[in-house]
Structure 1
């Protein structure tokens, strides 16, 4: 991308010039460092807002340069093994859930073929870049010969991004909040495979944003009805009145990649009109002074 002409020196040139200044007591002082080239300064607690802004801006600029306009999100557990390695799973349940690795891989392959019809601008697969379901998603995109996004995060126990992540679309985050915004801000569909706390967090944030009207309604597809009904009693939430019966229409259970792709393609036709507002209208409005 050509650099815009500017009458002022650019930042890169000034970093080089500053590095060539003779070393003196003054130039060795941290105070002398250029603010934007001073890691110690940028990592201060007072700069947290700036760091959040940078984490928002960096992927946004790169994706704009790549021409990526929409994504299909894949959430799911890092512990779901590839079927050929299910004997290494720590529980029998994880071994049984390994079938969803293959479904995730096939789903990503099918969606990437669709994405390539728009030259990789639309329906780009995005995962968390880790192992398990995330690896399957990136791997399926690679099977189709296309690119996929991965949004990694620095964790004490996390390994490097999986080998199938497209290098130019592999991002790393410090803040969960900015990472989740990038997951959802371009999404046209959300798929959720069996997983743990992280997957549940991502699922419920997605449902909350749609329920409250803070995000457009879109296909939210939960792979593995037996798994999801076992760990979350959706009907009990509706019976208790803590959610509306209408809220259960915000997602669909699926079992196979082909089924999920079909629902995404037919979404406009299958969406049922909601009988009542999703937001509880009994909550009084708050005045703003």
Structure 2
């Protein structure tokens, strides 16, 4: 049992009543026996419950701070009525670490588990209780095309089994999807919890995303850049014909309207790719062409 109730709750001796209550709720949320079977967590919850029972009462807190009672709520040994007080019904440490019969703790757990008449913790049924099921949280990676177009995938639940999940069209990286009622089962008549999926979208080798627009870098040949033409450009819905203007240059962007996500566009950035081998015919032609048509694309740049 902790000798310092403030330390058991992780608060300073100057903490307000609201700060003490908030600290207790935080410990209950992670260490309550119904939520965490780890013995160390249960010991922490016992100590926090006892500390909260002591400090939530202004008079008992004053007496503890003044050194009149110890952390167990008992009179200091030098007091003659030590035994009477230790055995009194008002001693919070004579009770267990549950919350039956304590309206203040019932309020804490009602807030903690989200039940104000419809969810979370509720006492009743001859000492039993109803409690909303635990929420599940998952990190789920989906491929680029599934995120863009929607689809289905499966996740494994903590207690075993799988759950089929519908991925909505256009889901974004970092977005959280809520699956109502797909969390842990409730206790008693408590409703099941929810499942929350935080989406991570895997990179695509060709497509990039900006909002609802798709970006694509498209290589074109030297002759396509000079002469123009029609080429096949990939989109998330399959290839489409794209007209390359005569005299196209690397970095130039062309737009495919409505070919993005949810009505967005696809932007195609052109990139001139040289032939795999520069032969003598091309060299000779370019030497002759440069002699009569040479130009400086860097004119005007500061050096």
Q: Smaller-chain TM-score range?
A: under 0.3
TM-score (ref. length: structure 2):
0.20
Larger C-alpha radius of gyration, 1 or 2?
Answer: 2
TM-score (ref. length: structure 1):
0.20
Point out the structure with the larger helix share.
1
The structure whose RCO (Cα within 8 Å, separation 6+) is larger is 1
Point out the structure with the larger strand share.
2
